[in-house]
Structures are given as C-alpha cells and as structure tokens.
Amino acid sequence: MVIKEAKFLVSNTRVDLCPAPDKPEYAFIGRSNVGKSSLINMLTHQSKLAKTSSSPGKTQLINHFLINNEWYLVDLPGYGYAKVSKDSRESWRKMINFYFQKRENLTCVFVLIDSRHEPLKQDLDFINQLGTMGVPFVLVFTKTDKQSSIKTDATIAAYVRTLKKTWDELPRMFKTSSVDQTGRDEILKFIDEVNAQVQSQ
C-alpha cells in the first residue's frame, strides 16, 4: 500500500464523538512509551503526525487519523504508566473498554510490545482481555533496532510459549523499528489485505 494522504482528524475521550464509523479502523495500543505514536509516524512517513515523547503518558486521548480517505488509524493512550493516579487509571480502563465494545468499525487492534522485555503480566492480561472480548488483534514487537535479532526472536518465542498455554490460535506477529523502518511494508500489506476483505463483505 502506498500512503498518499495521512491527516489528523480529532482527539477525544468519547466514542460517540469519534468520526462516523464508515471506514475500517485500526487502533494502536500498548504500554506507555512502547512506541505507538512513533510507529504511526513511521507507517505514514510523517514525522510529526502523532505526538511522540521520551516521557511516558504523552497520549491521553483517542486520536483519529484518516489515511488515503479509506481507513482510520487510531493512537490510543498507553497503559501501565506507574505515575498515573488510581482514578485516572480507572477512567482510562473505562474509556478503552467502552471504545473496544462500542466502536463498530474497529477492524483490528495492534498491541505493541517492547521487544526487549520478557512477557509482562500487564501485556498478557491486556491480550487475554482482548481475546475474551472477541476483539481481533495482532502483536507488534517494537524497538527491534535496540538489540540483536536473536534477542528479539527469543522474546517472541517466549510470548508464543506463554500464549499457547491458553489460546489455540495465535495472533499475527510483526517486528518493527521506527528508526530503521523495519516492519513497515509488512504492516501496510496486512492492512491492505484486511481492507480488501472488509470491502468484499
């Protein structure tokens, strides 16, 4: 897929204020600082489309972007930022759950995982919750430029082992680096294929 146009549409905390659900939607989520916004900028080749930051917790809202006038890309606020109060963690949980349950055009969730870490309970809980809710998702292992491919593959193998204990079918997995563009072609090809499936339905 060639990205001809990528534009920011709207940020909000409410599903009913999101753009009309008339196009396939792909949402990016994961622990704070995992590289969601950077990946969106890498995919769209626009360095400042989604706001990135070296301090966690930058993205607090549901941010909609329109790509090629064909599909929506959504930057969601991250989870697991230690300095967040119990109240804001609870409001994050409510907002995200509501979004997953009510957003009728939500086509696939990209769960971003830092490729440098062993499976973390927080990520596994989140993945299992998506599975239980029946939300289609894929896994994206980020920041692969920061270590050898052997180490990245070991992280992925550990996830596969852990997920196999509870799930019969494993999700698609992608390796990415927003620094050297790893994974860009694979993810855009995947979205292209899913868009074609949605259109033919």
Q: Which residues bind Mg ion (CB under 5 A)?
A: 36-37, 58-59
Q: Which stretch binds ligand GTP (CB under 6 A): 6-14, 28-36, 66-74, 83-91?
A: 28-36
**Tokens 């790893």, residue located:** 182
- Helix 149-164 with 121-133: angle, nearest 10 deg: 50
Minimal distance in Å, beta carbon 100 to ligand GTP?
A: 17
143 binds, among Mg ion, ligand GTP, none (CB under 5 to 8 A by kind): ligand GTP
Confirm or reject binding of residue 155 to ligand GTP (CB under 6 A): no
Q: Is 144 helix (H, G, I), strand (E, B) or coil?
A: helix
60 vs 198 by CB, closer to ligand GTP = 60
| 19, 56, 119, 131: residue in contact with ligand GTP (rule CB under 6 A) | 56
Confirm or reject binding of residue 179 to ligand GTP (CB under 6 A): yes
| 18, 34, 95, 139: residue in contact with ligand GTP (rule CB under 6 A) | 34
User: Is residue 182 classed exposed, middle or buried when 0-12, 13-18 and 19+ CB atoms within 10 A define those classes?
Assistant: buried
- Helix 184-200 with 36-44: angle, nearest 10 deg: 80
| 89, 146, 151, 189: residue in contact with ligand GTP (rule CB under 6 A) | 146
Minimal distance in Å, beta carbon 56 to Mg ion?
A: 9
Cα distance between residue 102 and residue 107, in whole Å: 12
Q: What is the signed CA dihedral for 16, 42, 170, 108, rounded to 10 degrees?
A: 20
Burial of 36-69, coded b for 16+ CB within 10 Å and e otherwise, reads bbbbbbbbbebeebbebeeebbbbeebbbbbbee
Confirm or reject binding of residue 115 to ligand GTP (CB under 6 A): no
Contact positions toward ligand GTP, by CB under 6 A?
Answer: 32-38, 52-54, 56-59, 78, 142-143, 145-146, 177-179
